Amino acid sequence: MIILLSPEQPVAYEVAVINALLERGLPLFHIRKYQFSDTEMMAYVNNIDSGYRQRLVLHSHFHLANELGIERLHFREEDREQNRHKAFMTGFTLSTSVHTIAAFNSLMAVWDYAFLSPIFPSISKKGYGVGYTVLDDLSLRRNLQVRLVGLGGIDQRNYSQVMSAGADGVALLGAIWKTPAPIQVFETINKHIPNGISSS
């Protein structure tokens, strides 16, 4: 499974790239736009082809989910630890983020998948993951109820290492938004990774 995260800051032709990747089979697109007003979020989502609504995941603005027809919500680690997801456990598919394999192993089955990061030093966030990465820790995975998705520094040159280490999927950010050829990068990776969207 490949997941794409939105860039935190606007990128040229952003929505056109999103629609093109969804058309080419991108399984899930995470909308990470914490700074948006409600109006901006509505406009952003409505610019994405409505036929792909079931593949969109909100990181914020959860109160707009029903109105937008979005059934997937992502909770940051701090939000999960404060149980903010508990109000959304019915009618939504939930995902979260962790930064250690121990935290991943402790997740309950309420989570469809979790991002584990940083797998490699970040492409989009300079300095993040330079001193410590979690790729080697995947061998310590004990939790098979929740799918593990690697995040951080993953691109067309190293994604296979992540899958070989035992991840169920990869999340892309800088590999797509920091390249002049986002479609080609996605298609290179997509040829080799199964789709794997959960219907839950």
Q: What is the pLDDT of residues 2-23, one digit of tens each?
A: 999 999 889 989 999 999 999 9
In which band, very low, low, confident or very high, does the pLDDT at 193 lie, cut at 50, 70 and 90?
Answer: confident
Please, where are the H alpha helices in the chain? 14-23, 38-46, 65-68, 77-81, 101-105, 159-164, 174-177, 182-190
Q: Indicate the pTM of the whole model.
A: 0.93
Q: What gap in Å lies between CA 43 and CA 34, rounded to an integer?
A: 14
**Structural domain spans, the chain:** 2-190
Q: Name residue 96's beta-bridge partners.
A: 75, 114
Residue 200 has a pLDDT of: 36
Average pLDDT of span 147-154: 96
Q: What is the percent of the chain with per-residue pLDDT over 70, rounded to a whole number? A: 92
What integer pLDDT is reported at residue 23 of this predicted model? 97
Q: Which two tokens stand for residue 136?
A: 């080697």
pLDDT value, residue 24: 95
> Does the pLDDT of residue 35 top 80, yes or no?
yes
| CATH, range 2-190 | 3.20.20.70
